[in-house]
Amino acid sequence: MLIKSKDPFRYPSISFQYSSGINHINDPLSSVKPYYQADLRIAKSWNNKFGIKATYSFLRANDWIAGNEQNFDRVGRSIKKGDRQSNPNYDGVNVYGDEISQNMKNVAQAVVSFGETSFIKEYKEANGGKVPSRDVINMFLKNNPQTAAFYAGLNLPGLLPDQSISRTGYKEENLADGNAQSFKTTGALYYNLSRNIQAVAEAIWGKGSTMYTGSDRYALTNFTVGQYKLELKGDRFYVRAYTTRERSGDSYVTSILASYLNETAKPSQQWFPEYVGNFIAARLTPGTNEAQAHAAARAAADDGWLRTGDSSFKVAKDKIRDNTISSGNGARFNDKSNLYHYEWFYDFSDLMSKTIGLQAGGSYRAYQLRSAGTIFDDADRSLNTGEFGAFIIADRGFLDNRLKMTLPGVMIKMRILKEDLLRD
């Protein structure tokens, strides 16, 4: 953040500025939208001794909503052919929730294995510990309503393809509203202790909402950033301390929101077996090809899917956004990280001869990473890191200062966090 700004002694004024415009021109996903921004600055000083300054800025616009629905290959990290209708394992770039995928044969095998384990346990209990033969087990799996279709899929050649399938996802426009706005304000007090020495106390605070692209798409909602500074400065020196404090507000991850919407409607442990079971049943129906079976299976598995516009969708969406990622059923991240910075500088040249210069300075910066396990691996511990640096520069002039020799000295010490402290 900017830590230097115009002081009220040199730039006293009351000024106001308003600007507007439009965006989303030729945007296929949005009509043209307005853009507004208003800024106010008030600065006043008295007797060249005491001064105050305040600024206010407000912006409102409609952010870009990502709408790339091309099929994404997460292994090859590239675009591939197919859409939801043609590829059962479709994973749209800006379609979320469809990242969850399972292999159909693996699903069938899991259902059969669970049925077999349960049957063997019950059989042993009913027969004094006797273990059923393979033929008895296979007869059970073939005729039991819960396992019959899956057993057939694994044992009838060509019935069940070695094909992965993904859950039905949500478009970004259904998960984020795209409203972007920010409010920023600054308040500062200035006091001139002498002609060359000034003390400053300043607070900068902002609140906003926007979309952000990183390793995912993040809906930054009602996040705040505050910076608070104390400074003493003169012609030859400064001493400065400031802190930056971030609060994520109601911000959330769109892909996690979509995944939990799907899990709310129907857990994946239920959805995938329903899909595979209905696919096999459709394929066993004469005249049904693979594409038709996939369509029938998805329609059956998606029964109860939370559809956008329904009240149940909104209720579930709000609940998931209200819960944090670390809770195991939410999409909101909970960043309350802080930074503390201290620095100083002094030019000793006036104390030296005209041909010798000497400057020194130093800084210390401390980071407190606080995300409650939603960004960093800090659910049950505090993550602190920092860095320290100092320098000294001496120079000597020769030939009436037409030639100068400089001797710098720098020391830096840092503590680096390991990559595994970041959440995936």
Give me the mean pLDDT over the 202-220 stretch.
Answer: 94
Rounded mean pLDDT, 15-31:
91
Distance CA 275, CA 305 (A): 13
4: pLDDT confidence band, cut at 50, 70 and 90?
low
Mean pLDDT over each residue of the chain, to the nearest integer:
92
109 pLDDT more than 50:
yes
- pLDDT tens by residue, 224-246: 999 999 999 999 999 999 999 99
pLDDT (tens digit, 9 = 90+) per residue, 34-87? 999 999 999 999 999 999 999 999 999 999 889 999 999 988 889 999 999 999
Q: What is the pLDDT of residues 110-164, one digit of tens each?
A: 999 999 999 999 999 999 999 999 999 999 999 999 999 999 999 999 999 999 9
Residue 415 pLDDT level (bands cut at 50, 70, 90): confident
**Predicted confidence band of residue 419 (pLDDT cuts 50, 70, 90):** low
pLDDT at 173: 93
**351 compared with 256, residue with greater pLDDT:** 256
pLDDT digits (tens, 9 = 90+) for 365-376: 999 999 999 988
Asked whether the predicted pLDDT for residue 2 surpasses 50, the reply is no
pLDDT at residue 334 tops 90: yes
**Backbone phi and psi for residue 30, each to the nearest 5 degrees, phi listed first:** -155, 150
Reduce the secondary structure of the chain to three states and give it as a string.
Answer: CCCCCCCCCCCCEEEEEEEEEEECCCCCCCCCEEEEEEEEEEEEEECCCEEEEEEEEEEEEECCCCCCCCEEECCCCEEECCCCCCCCCCCECCEECCCCEEEHHHHHHHHHHHHHHHHHHHHHHHCCCCCCCHHHHHHHHHHCCCCHHHHHHHHCCCCCCCCEEECCCEEHHHCCCCEEEEEEEEEEEEEECCCCCEEEEEEEEEEEEEEEECCCEEEEEEEEEEEEEEEEECCCEEEEEEEEEEECCCCEEHHHHHHHHHHHHCCHHHHHHHHHHHHHHHHCCCCCCHHHHHHHHHHHHCCCCCCCCCHHHHHHHHHHHHCEHHHCCCCECCCCCEEEEEEEEEECHHHCCCCEEEEEEEEEEEEEECCCCCCECCCCCCEEEEEEEEEEEEEEEECCCCEEEEEEEEEEEECCCCHHHECC
Residue 1 has pLDDT above 50, yes or no: no
Which pLDDT band holds residue 257 (cuts at 50, 70, 90)? very high
More confident site: 6 or 311: 311
* Tens digits of residue pLDDT in 70-83: 999 988 889 999 99
Query: According to the model, what pLDDT value does residue 249 have?
Result: 96
pLDDT of residue 74: 86
pLDDT value of residue 134: 95
